[in-house]
Chains A and B, each alone.
Chain A
Amino acid sequence: MSVRPRIAVLVFPGSNDDRDAAWALGALGADAHLVWHAEQALPRGTSAVVLPGGFSYGDYLRCGAIARFAPVLDAVREFAAAGGAVLGICNGFQILCEAGLLPGVLRRNRDLEFVCRDVRIEVVRTDTVFTARCEEGQQLTIPVKHGEGAWYADDELYSELDAAGQLVLRYAEDCNGSVGDVAGVCNEARNVLGLMPHPEHAVDPLLGSGDGALLLAGLVDAARERTLAAV
């Protein structure tokens, strides 16, 4: 019998993709728990964390700037430092950047419009738990829906991240003006990933694409391994 690893899906005031993320993770064999932002600790046995999309704290000041001070973020920081897999989707990506857990920052889309459509993204690196089920160069179709998704790093930081293989996903078409068409970035230790596209909205071909399931299943695999290692 396979283990259903416990995955914490954080809920901030203004999160709106938390339930979709929890549903998708559940469908992929995880035991997803919604965790309120004011919690000081993650549920016992948490083996992966997802920061979902939405508009945490109304996106006041800058996207993610206020959420980064949520009490639960200290627990996430500790979990990530201990090697646990953390995935930030859309607003979750913005929060992780503001919190300094991921490099760069998300800015207003170049054309100032809210982009809401399926996009093709290319898997550049498969050496993260999130992309372990993908092939290098594989194209995935996953929807985006954001107004502030243009990832930015200056030339120096960009070259550093590129050389270190931290630019994990790129748009395979023009999307929002991200530097280098970057769609997803990981940290140096490769256990924290942020991306603007929404894999949780692409887990069933009936709804257009099942490609997002590849990324989420990678996370569930890692969570399962961590659970088994702890037993």
Chain B
Amino acid sequence: MRVTVLVRPKQGILDPQGEAVQGLLRKLGFSVGGARVGRLVDLEVDAPTAQEARSQAERMCQELLANPLIESFEIEVEGE
């Protein structure tokens, strides 16, 4: 089952990468009020149901894919 995990810097956490990207976009003439840079992980999960795939992905995020001190995560399961 195809699962996509989005990992973002938590709200309120300074994101220097995002600031650099925003600064450059503005320089290029784009009107950008904010930019945050996170990470996307595409997974192929062996699971019988979408619900099971989601709960596995949640555990993956807690154990490895995100650091809860600074990052939040969002999970999308195909067909859910």
> Which B residues are in CB contact (< 8 Å) with A110?
14, 16
* B69 contacts A108, C-beta separation under 8 Å: no
Q: How large is the interface on B (under 10, 10 to 19, 20 to 34, 35 or more residues)?
A: 10 to 19
Query: A109 CA to B67 CA in the complex, in Å?
Result: 17
Minimum distance in angstroms from B19 CB to a CB of chain A? 9
Q: Mark A149-174, 1 if CB is under 8 A from B, else 0.
A: 00011100000000000000000000
> Which A residues are in CB contact (< 8 Å) with B16?
108-112, 177
> Which A residues are in CB contact (< 8 Å) with B20?
112
Query: A14 CA to B19 CA in the complex, in Å?
Result: 30
Q: Given A61-B64, A65-B64, decide whether A105 and B69 contact each other with a Cβ distance below 8 A.
A: yes
Query: A105 CA to B65 CA in the complex, in Å?
Result: 14
* B70 contacts A105, C-beta separation under 8 Å: yes
Query: A110 CA to B14 CA in the complex, in Å?
Result: 8
Interface of A is mostly: loop
* B69 contacts A153, C-beta separation under 8 Å: yes
> Which A residues are in CB contact (< 8 Å) with B55?
none
**B17 within 8 A of partner (CB):** yes
Minimum distance in angstroms from B70 CB to a CB of chain A? 6
Minimum distance in angstroms from B11 CB to a CB of chain A? 12
* A62 contacts B14, C-beta separation under 8 Å: no
Q: Sort A-B residue pairs by CB-CB distance and give the 8 closest, nearest first.
A: A105-B69, A112-B16, A110-B16, A105-B67, A105-B70, A108-B16, A112-B20, A62-B67
Q: Apart from A98-B67, A112-B17, A152-B70, what are 7 other A-B pairs with CB-CB below 8 Å?
A: A61-B65, A105-B69, A105-B70, A107-B70, A108-B16, A112-B16, A112-B20
